[in-house]
Amino acid sequence: MDKLPELLAPAANLSVLKTAVRYGADAVYLGGESFGLRAGADNFTNEEIVSGIKFAHDRGCKVYITVNIFAHDRDLEGVREYLKELNEMAPDGLLIADPGIFMMAKELITNGKTDLHISTQSNNTNYEIFKFWHSLGAKRVVGARELSLAEIKDIRAHIPDDLEMEIFVHGAMCISYSGRCLLSNYFTGRDANQGQCTHPCRWKYALVEETRPGEYLPVEENDRGTYIMNSKDLNMVGHLDDLVDAGVDSLKIEGRMKTDLYVGTVVRAYRMALDDLAESVEKYRNNIPKYEAEIRECTYRQFSTGFFYGKPGAEAQIYNESTYEKGATYIGEIEEIKDGFAKISQKNKFSVGETIEIMKPNGDNIPVKIDKLLNADMEAVKSAPHPKETIYFKVPEEAEPGDLLRRKEVV
């Protein structure tokens, strides 16, 4: 295969950015402290953006910054100042939804290094929309999640070759059209289109008849439950050959509030899949069960293929609960290795006698039996029960700083 699409990963913070780069992303996208649509994420200070861009660029990875709120008048002066700062930082692209912000960016982004991308929030559902943004100077348009594979092919056939198409391939599916949701604003006063979504689509609902206050009637789809808007996650790792055939330029993983383990696991699985596809379609298809199994080694909802192969029906929803499946627990990341002992700031409890895994970026999973744990004072302990506790333990020679550690859950 001559040209693979870009693998684009989310970054909640600088640590996750580094994980995404190490585990195979070609590009990462992130938000600053303002004017992005994930106010609940850790997000990046300007200093961290600069540091993240350097780390990524040193390793041949691109960085895109979200400036994708729909601005009110009160936001505009702040957006203008932020765009001036981003012009100095020179990321590889800005993700924008608001036409007014786009025109401001055209005026203020003058460094010659930063392209303008159009966010999925702009409801990009047909080729005339793509051509419109291209005529204004956009380098890339992110397609709406509601597009089918046939529609993606048709758009590609009608747009200029130099206009890139980015498509979501993995992660949470929003119940509202292209993420344009008012539920959070209505219920809590926190506007999803200003980056403050409280995800009320994941809540459990009941009906109340107005003359019978306090009488709650369950909302049921048959007898399955009441989480009527709780959609399954998107997962296209087993269909990448179709996406490449459709002419997609960038495969986007959703999850700008996700952990290192989630991002590392998903990015690594898609990286392996794309690299196998580059060798041959046959090798890729034969290994699909491996990619699917690996993706389940983190927290996830049940999976679907979204709108790619037709409009989702009842099978795309999870009616009986809103919790995640959990394939593995995140133990931490190796910070340094000295005399065969790894140092970590542990994320979840683990104990002497347990077996954990070292996740290597190349796809290897190395089991490690924990025979001894040492605390920060180099005293032997039986377990590491406290989050962020400094712990040392023996690791094999293949282990390296930056490797992620997990404990598989027993099913």
Chain centre to alpha carbon of residue 340: 33
Cα 255 from Cα 248, distance rounded (Å): 20
Q: Looking at residues 363-369, what average pLDDT do you find? A: 95
Torsions phi, psi of 261, nearest 5? -60, -45
Cα 8 to Cα 17, 169, 228, 256, 307: the distances in Å are 11, 10, 30, 12, 20
pLDDT at residue 125, as a whole number: 94
Share of the chain above pLDDT 90, in %: 67
Q: Which of 34-48, 147-161, 353-367, 397-411 has the lowest mean pLDDT?
A: 34-48
Predicted confidence (pLDDT) per residue in 19-59, tens digit: 999 999 999 999 988 776 555 556 799 999 999 999 999 99
pLDDT tier at 224, thresholds 50, 70, 90: very low
pLDDT: is 162 or 318 the higher one? Answer: 162
Q: Looking at residues 292-317, what average pLDDT do you find? A: 78
Judge whether residue 14 has pLDDT over 70.
yes
**DSSP code of 117?**
E
pLDDT at residue 397, as a whole number: 93
Judge whether residue 149 has pLDDT over 70.
yes
Q: Looking at residues 85-113, what average pLDDT do you find? A: 97
> Distance between terminal CA atoms of the chain?
38
pLDDT at residue 126, as a whole number: 97
pLDDT at residue 36, as a whole number: 61
Q: Of 246, 273, 281, 230, nearest to 363 (Cα)?
A: 273
Domain spanning 328-408: CATH superfamily? Translation factors (2.40.30.10)
Q: Looking at residues 176-200, what average pLDDT do you find? A: 62
Residue 245: helix, strand or coil by DSSP?
Answer: helix
Share of the chain above pLDDT 70, in %: 82
Tokens of 100: 């007014």
- Burial class for 90, CB neighbours closer than 10 Å (0-12, 13-18, 19+): middle
- Is the backbone of residue 318 left (phi > 0), alpha (psi -120 to 50) or beta? beta
Rounded mean pLDDT of the chain? 87
Q: Which of 118-122, 231-235, 354-358 has the lowest mean pLDDT?
A: 231-235
Predicted confidence (pLDDT) per residue in 276-296, tens digit: 999 999 999 999 999 999 998
Cα 214 from Cα 211, distance rounded (Å): 10
pLDDT at residue 304, as a whole number: 85
Give buried/exposed letters for 383-400 (b at 16+ CB in 10 A, else e): bbeeeebbbbbbbeeebe
Instruction: State the Rg of the chain over Cα.
Output: 22
pLDDT tier at 134, thresholds 50, 70, 90: very high
Cα 312 from Cα 310, distance rounded (Å): 6
* Domain ranges (residues) in the chain: 6-177+230-326, 328-408
Tokens of 281: 């379609």
| Domain 6-177+230-326: CATH class, spelled out | alpha beta
Residue partners of 379: CB distance under 8 A and separation at least 6: none
pLDDT at residue 318, as a whole number: 52
- Burial class for 376, CB neighbours closer than 10 Å (0-12, 13-18, 19+): exposed
Q: Which of 189-203, 231-245, 305-319, 330-344 has the lowest mean pLDDT?
A: 189-203
Judge whether residue 183 has pLDDT over 90.
no
pLDDT: is 343 or 302 the higher one? Answer: 343
**DSSP code of 329?**
E
pLDDT tier at 180, thresholds 50, 70, 90: low
Q: Looking at residues 252-258, what average pLDDT do you find? A: 89
Q: Looking at residues 208-218, what average pLDDT do you find? A: 74
Strand partners, 164: 140
Judge whether residue 315 has pLDDT over 80.
no
